[in-house]
Amino acid sequence: MAKIAVLGAGAWGTALAMNISQRHNVSLWARNAGHVSGMRKARANPLYLGDFKFNEQLQVEDDLQTAINDADLILSVVPTAGFRSILKDIKALGSTLPIIWANKGLEPQSAKLPYEVALEELGNPQVTGQHWGALSGPSFAAELVRGLPTAVTVAATDEAFSNQAALLIHGANLRVYNSTDVIGVSVGGAVKNIMAIAAGISDGMGFGNNARAAMITRGLAEMTRFGVALGAKPETFMGLAGAGDLILTCTGQYSRNREVGLQLASGKSLSDILQGLGHVAEGVNTTAEVMRRAYTMQVDMPITYQVDQVLSHGKSAKDAVVDLLGREQKAEAY
């Protein structure tokens, strides 16, 4: 039996911790001492995940050193905006434990994907010997914690470590595949949130199933173009971390990013939507950063452009969809 340190006690971090604790010892860390105290008393995470009870192999910590002591693997599930900070904290403690992250999106301001942040903060694993990678795929915390079947991908540049990490996390109702395409898995987890906002806008405007299917398909083409430009493998986007996560996020009832799109279509302001959401919708912060990088790399991303116009430049949801539909006729490109 191994020990896994799960950092970040939001809905997804808690669901992963609870699932893994069926097979291993788990320390679930949160920065907020009040949140930790509440979870210890309830033996659950009522703030983010209702009254699903923790088992005896799951311990809750607010001290990072205690959480990672004697761990075999760190699983970071803090939001992307705080990812660099937690890597710095881990490094400051002198830890060289392998790290898998499950956060998605791009870092605000720098527009860097999590693997680029890890490369800067932890160094190249082939040089340092400290391995790291990404976990992503179609996964709602509410379904995983209820014991419903879920499949995800773990990607690391080192194939042996990728397989080892996947084996540690795999089990019960959680199926884990392994990959070496860290770039593709990271891009899929980031860009699909933008497409979910677009799908939500389309659904909210009442444009129907045909339009949603077109949005998903063309969104997959954008995601693939962007990823390949960064060095990803095209086939990754046909898998769980690409098409799988995209389809779920654009259609699922628990999708926070789709919900943002639905409410934008109803005329609500973005600030009111985010205030009422109660959870992080990574696509909101990711859109502007992806658009900026796409412009620099000269990658055509018309859906992302229109979502950015709505989120950051005051364009109405209706006008954005009309402009997408009004683009000139062309051959279908991938």
Delineate the domains of the chain, giving CATH numbers in brackets.
Answer: 3-180 (3.40.50.720), 191-325 (1.10.1040.10)
Q: Is the pLDDT of residue 282 over 90?
A: no
User: Please, which pLDDT band fits residue 324 given cuts at 50, 70 and 90?
Assistant: confident
Is-above-0.85 flag for pTM? yes
**Pair 306, 198: CB distance under 8 Å:** yes
- Of 68-72, 163-167, 248-252, 274-278, the range with the lowest mean pLDDT is 274-278
Q: Which residue has better confidence, 90 or 269?
A: 90
CA distance 189 to 176: 16
- What is the model's pLDDT at position 108? 84
Rg of the chain's alpha carbons, rounded to an integer? 19
Q: Is the pLDDT of residue 287 over 80?
A: yes
| Other beta carbons within 10 Å of 245 | 28
User: Please, which pLDDT band fits residue 334 given cuts at 50, 70 and 90?
Assistant: low
CA distance 47 to 38: 9
CA distance 193 to 80: 13
| Other beta carbons within 10 Å of 308 | 23
pLDDT tens figures, 119-173: 999 999 999 999 999 999 999 999 999 999 999 999 998 999 999 999 999 999 9
Across all residues in the chain, what is the average pLDDT? 94
Q: Cα 67 from chain centroid?
A: 22
| Other beta carbons within 10 Å of 92 | 10
**Pair 107, 87: CB distance under 8 Å:** no
* Contacts of residue 202, Cβ cutoff 8 Å, sequence gap at least 6: 211, 212, 215, 261, 265, 321
Q: Which residue has better confidence, 278 or 154?
A: 154
- What is the model's pLDDT at position 111? 87
Q: Count CA atoms within 13 Å of residue 185 on its CB side.
A: 26
Which residues are tagged catalytic? 192
- What is the model's pLDDT at position 277? 79
Q: Cα 307 from chain centroid?
A: 18
Tokens representing 193? 């949130």
